[in-house]
Each structure stands twice: as C-alpha cells, then as structure tokens.
Amino acid sequence: MITQVGVTYCRPHMNKNKLLTNVFAICLCYLIPGVDAITVSPLDAVSDSYVLCINKCTAEIKESLEEGFTRAISHLKVYAQMFGIDDCSLQIGDLMTFYRSCETQFVRGNAEKAAKEAAEGFAWREEELDRDGRDLLRLKSISDLVNERRVKNCKNRFNEERCREYFANVSNANVLMDLARVGAKLPVAGDFVSQVTPEKPRALQRKLGLNYSKQVKKLWDKGGVLVLREEHVSPFERSKLNFNPFHWTPKPGPPPEPMGRLLGDLSNREVGQSINCAESKAMVEEVYGPMSYPSIEEIVSAWLDHAKVNGYELGECRIWKEDIRSAFGQFDFDPEETYKLAFQFAVGFIMIMMIGFFGWTGAPMVFANFSRALIEVLRSDAEVAGIIHIFCDDFMGFSHFSVARKDQLRARQLVEGVFGDGTEA
C-alpha cells in the first residue's frame, strides 16, 4: 500500500471550500505516519482565524479550527479508502491534541533559540578553511576555481550525459543542455552596481550565533560553495565581487529541523539596486520561460476523469507523491555569474555560491525547466499507467492500486537518473 500521500498546495487567502482541502490533509497527516509535515497556528492570541502551513505554503482559515476539523473528518470518512485507510474513527479531541503539539513550533523566539543551540560548539578545521584559498592562489581566478569544482562534481549531478540520456526529445532540450554545459545565467538590472564591501551582519545573524557558519559548512561539504579567507582573494578578484546579505527562516516539522534554512537575501541591501527586481526577473523569464503550476481543480479533475474513463472506483485508486531533494540546488551557475554571489558568513571569510538557492528570484523559473521536462518524459512513458502532475519539485500521482507502486518507482528512477542518487526525498 502506498503510504506517501500527495497533499494539496494553496495560495494565501483562498476561499473556504479550497481551504477545506488543506484541513483534510491534516487529518491524513495524523492518520498516516511518514507523510510530509503539515502544521497550523493561530494568527494571534484572540483571533478566530488560523494559518495553515502545508509543505511551506501558507493559507488563512476564516473559521474556527474545530469547525474546520469537523468538516474535514466528515470528508475523510467518504474518501478514506482512496488513501488506503480502513479505520476512520478519528475524533476531534485526537486531532486537537495533534494540533497543539505542532502549535508550539510557532511560538515567537522558539525557532531562533533552537537554531542557536543547534550550532553551539561548532568550529571549522583550519585545513578546511584553507583548501579553496590554496586552489585560488594556484588558479588566480574565482571563475576558474568554480569551473574546476563543477567538473569535479559533475559525475554525481545533472550533466551533459544525463541531459542527453533523459531529455534529448523534450521541448526545452536546448535550455537544459545549456544549463548542463554552462550553468544558469544571473541577469541584473541596467543600473545594478556591485557591492564590493559586505554590509554589517544583521541582528538575526548576530542572534543565531554560529548557525550561519555551520550551515555554510554543510553547503561546502556538498560541493555547493567556495569558502575563502579574505587574504586569499587578490584585489583584482575582490573588485569583481558583489556581496549579498544572508537571511534565515525556520523549517517547521514534525519533526522540526532546528538549524532552520539559510537563505540569500538578494532583494534587500542598504545602498543601490539589488539583484532581485522587476527588470532582472523579466530578463530571467525571457531566457528560461515563465512558471506555470497546475491548480488544485486541474489536478483533482484529472484524477476524477482518469477514474471515470477507466471505470475505477475511487476506493481502488491511490494517491502518491515524490519530492526532489534540494531542488534549486540541483543546477549550477555559470562560473562567471558567481562573482555576483558573494556572502560574508564570518569576519574575514567569504562564501561564493555555486548552485541554485532560495532567495534568488530566478531560481523557480530555472528549475521550472526541469519540472516541465520531467513531466513531459513521464507522460510519454508507456510504462506509467496513472496520472502525474508536478508542482515545482513535488510529483503528485494518481494510479490504480495495482500499478501505483510501479508508477511511483518510475518517477523516482527518473529523478535519480537526472539528478543523481539520493535526490528523491
């Protein structure tokens, strides 16, 4: 039986009927262990409205939580079989207890405290901090060093060979091959001026102690960044750098990830035009195309049509999902573009971002090319019997129970074939 359930995604302030789907998903999360994290929290201490977070997308429920849960449970009893659930004896009290355990994650200050504590005692080894600097002194150029690292890491990442094998016949094959050969472009506005001196650390960075440094180490271990001592960067190379501020956000559970998520803030800086702006976004869209995600209605309608055309009862069908781990991190930047992606994570130390990340407005548009190609390949695969959609980096499938596992494995094999082992989550 498939126990990974594909929950729906929502935009803020949807109407109650659509939001009911999200409350319904909470019931599924409660009943099926291992389903992706779904959490809720009140807007404030006296409000009768609640915020619901599903896979990091947020919506507001304009009704009491108890009323929403009651209606969700009634729907759950109708559709339970479709999710492989035999026992629908869920009570409001059980669900409220589950909710309260999630709610504590949203108490102001708890996440920051946990993030700071999770990094206490962390320290880089001196030889780690010197490695990229020694190679830079040998090669002289940051872009040459980035390119050397790309060549070294490409065997286990999306590359030209993988692109030819899986995407040779997709409609956007040329764009994907350019990403494999060169990397993503990072256009900037006409009035953009590089910020060659980093800003002072923000209050949040100071508050979180060694958290940023530990997160940079994690990225470095994966081959996603360069770490350089300032004295290893020549004045000429330093003059080409643009420094961006960091940002940080919690990663709620259950279970929560205490380190949180490190972001690049390319939208705000103290002086001058940031990388993220309307002009640069339009240029990214011109190169990589716009994003287009399926709506809830489109997905559910396709599921119902599939069942009807094939004569399936809903209880005979299964919903399954697959994620792409660290989706934005699956593409590289053009080495020449990485000069724009400098960050200071500690006094005297520079991080150069080499892979896609949260915080750049163009990352979703670049990755959307992979989404379009993946779904095009799967929908043309004669071995896939069910219906498949993809929302950014999340596959949502609907298949007859007899082929659901096979369909899901085909999606998983494709993801690992394109991006490397361990990239499905």
Q: Residues 272, 143: one domain?
A: yes
- Report the predicted TM-score, pTM, of the whole model to 2 decimal places: 0.76
Do residues 129 and 99 share a domain?
no
Answer yes or no: do 88 and 130 share one domain.
no
Number of domains making up the chain: 2
CA distance 218 to 202: 21
Q: In terms of Cα–Cα distance, which of 50, 59, 71, 49 is closest to 7?
A: 59
- Dihedral of CA 146/147/153/159: which sign? positive
* Residue ranges with strand state E in 35-94: 38-42, 50-54, 57-61
Tokens of 177: 């091959």
Tens of each residue's pLDDT in the chain, 425 residues: 222 333 333 333 333 334 444 445 555 554 444 444 444 444 333 344 444 444 434 444 445 667 767 766 676 666 555 555 556 666 777 666 666 655 555 566 778 888 999 999 999 999 999 999 999 999 999 999 999 999 999 999 999 999 999 999 999 999 999 999 999 999 999 999 999 999 999 999 999 989 999 999 999 999 999 999 999 999 999 999 999 999 999 887 656 688 999 999 999 998 889 999 999 999 999 999 998 888 888 999 999 999 999 999 988 999 898 889 889 999 999 999 999 999 999 999 999 999 999 999 999 999 999 999 999 999 999 999 999 999 888 889 999 999 999 999 999 999 999 999 865 55
Q: Label residue 318 exposed, middle or buried (CB < 10 Å: 0-12, 13-18, 19+).
A: buried
Of 107, 128, 158, the last residue of a domain is: 107
- Say if residue 242 is in the same domain as residue 208: yes
Buried-exposed string 325-337: b where 16+ CB fall within 10 A, e elsewhere: ebbbbbbbbbbbb
Rounded (to 5) percent helix, strand, coil in the chain: 45, 15, 35
- Residue 58, classed as helix, strand or coil, is strand
**Residue-wise over 236-261: b if at least 16 C-beta within 10 A, else e?**
ebeebbbbbbbbbebebeeebebbbb
- Give phi and psi for 349, each to the nearest 5: -130, 140
Domain-terminating residue out of 62, 77, 107: 107
Residue-by-residue DSSP string for 155-192:
GGSS-HHHHHHHHTTSTTHHHHHHHHHT-B-----TT-
The answer on 286 and 185 residing in a single domain is yes
397 is a domain residue: no
In this structure, is residue 299 part of a structural domain? no
Boundary (domain end) residue, out of 66, 81, 107? 107
Residues 149, 354 contacting (CB under 8 angstroms)? yes
Same domain, yes or no, for 96 and 180?
Answer: no
Pair 166, 261 in one domain: yes
Q: Is residue 239 part of a domain?
A: yes
Beta strand 257-264 with 317-323 is: unpaired
Please report whether residue 390 resides in a domain: no
Query: How far is 230 from 345, CA to CA, in rounded Å?
Result: 12
Within-domain flag for 135: yes
CA dist 39 and 34 (Å) reads: 14
pLDDT digits (tens, 9 = 90+) for 56-81: 344 444 456 677 677 666 766 665 55
Say yes or no: 124 and 77 in one domain: no
Report residue 382 CA to chain centroid gap: 29
Residue 72 lies in a domain: yes
Q: Clarify whether residues 137 and 166 are in a common domain.
A: yes
Task: Find where tokens 């492989």 sit.
Answer: 84
* pLDDT given for residue 70 in this prediction: 73
> Domain for residue 54, yes or no?
yes
Distance CA 321, CA 397 (A): 6
Burial class (CB in 10 A: 0-12, 13-18, 19+), 130: middle
The gap from C-alpha 100 to its chain's centroid, in whole angstroms, comes to: 26
Residue 253, in any domain of the structure: yes
Residues 94 and 189 in one domain: no
Domain hosting residue 264, numbered range: 116-293+325-373
Residue 55 falls in which region: left (phi positive, over 0), alpha (psi -120 to 50) or beta: left
In this structure, are 260 and 286 located in the same domain? yes
> Is residue 79 located within the same domain as residue 129?
no
Say which residues have a Cβ less than 8 Å from residue 18's Cβ, sequence separation at least 6.
10, 296
